[in-house]
Structure 1
């Protein structure tokens, strides 16, 4: 099966990343942007986000936004040694990043799964997926927000029914976008993109979510209609597909953002095995 990679970069909060297929035979030197019969970039295929770069910059990296090429090679070599030693536990790409940065001998975690089942992770020169704010970190919570988080944490201790569990534990959805944590990168982030002149379907293997995104000038649904993954509309800006998503449910809670979240995603084919992905989140 041919697959490709995501790459990520970019409240306002911006992230950047890369999606890529598991294996491709075409060299970058001979690559030409594939196009549909309508002349649009062809984004179709099976893609995987396996970038190890964490969502937020780790405190020990301070104000460093990038690694040197030599440091990237060192991190990749460490990860291969750690997770191919036959003793390490399964790790998400973010955890693999931390293990490589700390240069541990063996990665030990609560998981009972072996690292043998992990997908290969890719290291980039960025120290965080967050590119704005420049410090690579999510802004500190306000006092009111900290109180709300504390209330949610207390609720986890005293569950009375399924509605007290989040959407992931109820196997409803991991939310949009998928960045950071267990479902931000790694084996749970295989995606298939199916494309027509008027729609794009974004299908994820984990949770079997299917985002059906109209492409064109259709308006969003009524403000009164709220959905787990919001209401998405796509448009082409040159060779980049721009997807704006609004109308999130109050239950969505992407890192504290919910019904006020405005999401802008940009998908650009940047190579034979790479789909650049930039996302900006705004929540007034």
Structure 2
């Protein structure tokens, strides 16, 4: 038995089917703060943003092109999308049909259900049609000509083909850090298909962000320390933070030359990597806007990759559940089997 499933929201098509109703451009610029509510404080007086938060959402990173200038969903459109996701999840988790015919040689064997996926079932509270809020069209800026040429190069295409299983892999080094359980999402933190929890731990001088996926930890220094030298590069960059009113502002620079940003959220087939450069600068803003919501906004500026900076918003929801340890290498024979399969394909092609 097998199942070929992909929980697809059909965001743009569903909205157009429901009818286009444009909401005012500034109606829900950020999640609404309840009347009379004030952000709780730590023992030393800073806004309390600690705890476990979840970034899962069915809102895509980029606005579907067919939605044009439609920046917000109506309540009815949002409800229809969320119901469609619930129905799609139910179909994906239904018992598989008995298969009596073999699958095509070289084709996908499918998956047994969607148990390991957790993209969420709701749109963002603002009902925006994309996480990208600037540029106003809700889409990423154009790539620079140089980076576009790199993306289209045979070398980069081969890496993509290897990751998608289209050509044999020569070595483990041809797989990215996520495949090798070393690193996954990058900065900023974009929603993906699962493990979208973050545990924020506060002290007066440091905030630690523990990422559920591959248990990465970021340390945000609040003690006013200067930036590190430009010639010092770290894979995840160097983060420094400060409080501006009730908002934690984090600036991250000094990225290494192999940094990347990953998303496998709605509308992204199989996941997409954006290769980034050491010129990358990310500014994140964390604001507690309600008892259950942490507003997360981020601006990404890499002049070697995109022709202009871009900004996104991905409100996080409070989780009352603990965040468990993430296991990646343990019992994971995927990379070994991929390389063994590549050698078998080569041997078969050589007639051995």
- TM-score range (shorter-chain normalised) is 0.7 to 0.9
The Cα offsets for residues 220-277 of structure 1, whole Å up to 9 and x where unpaired, read as 2221211111000010000000000000000113323220100000000011111000
| 8 A Cα contact 1:194 1:201, kept in partner | yes
| 8 A Cα contact 1:223 1:247, kept in partner | yes
1:147 corresponds, among 130, 146, 149, to: 149
1:134 corresponds, among 126, 136, 139, to: 136
- Mapped pair 1:71 → 2:73: no
CA RMSD of aligned residues (A): 2.5
| 8 A Cα contact 1:129 1:136, kept in partner | yes
Distance in 1 (alpha carbons) for counterparts of 2:234 and 2:209 = 16
Instruction: State the partner residue of 2:236.
Output: 229
| 8 A Cα contact 1:52 1:185, kept in partner | no
Change (3 A) 1:110 1:80: farther
The Cα offsets for residues 30-69 of structure 1, whole Å up to 9 and x where unpaired, read as 8542110111111111111112111111122222111111
1:164: how far off? 2.5
| 8 A Cα contact 1:231 1:246, kept in partner | yes
Instruction: State the partner residue of 1:123.
Output: 123
Structure 1, unaligned runs of 5 or more: 1-15, 19-27, 90-108
Change (3 A) 1:140 1:86: closer
Instruction: State the partner residue of 2:189.
Output: 178
Distance in 2 (alpha carbons) for counterparts of 1:110 and 1:197 = 51
1:83: how far off? 1.5
Instruction: State the partner residue of 2:50.
Output: 44
Instruction: State the partner residue of 2:245.
Output: 238
Larger relative contact order (Cα-Cα within 8 Å, sequence gap ≥ 6): 1
Change (3 A) 1:45 1:262: same
Change (3 A) 1:164 1:231: same
Instruction: State the partner residue of 1:281.
Output: 300
Structure 2, unaligned runs of 5 or more: 1-28, 96-107, 262-273, 304-352
- Mapped pair 1:256 → 2:261: no
Q: How many aligned residue pairs are there?
A: 237
- Mapped pair 1:193 → 2:200: yes
Structure 1 or 2: more strand by fraction: 1
2:174 corresponds, among 164, 169, 175, to: 164
User: SS of the residue aligned with 2:275?
Assistant: coil
The Cα offsets for residues 94-153 of structure 1, whole Å up to 9 and x where unpaired, read as xxxxxxxxxxxxxxx976152355544221311111111111111223443222112311
User: SS of the residue aligned with 1:258?
Assistant: coil
Structure showing greater radius of gyration is 2
Change (3 A) 1:118 1:250: closer
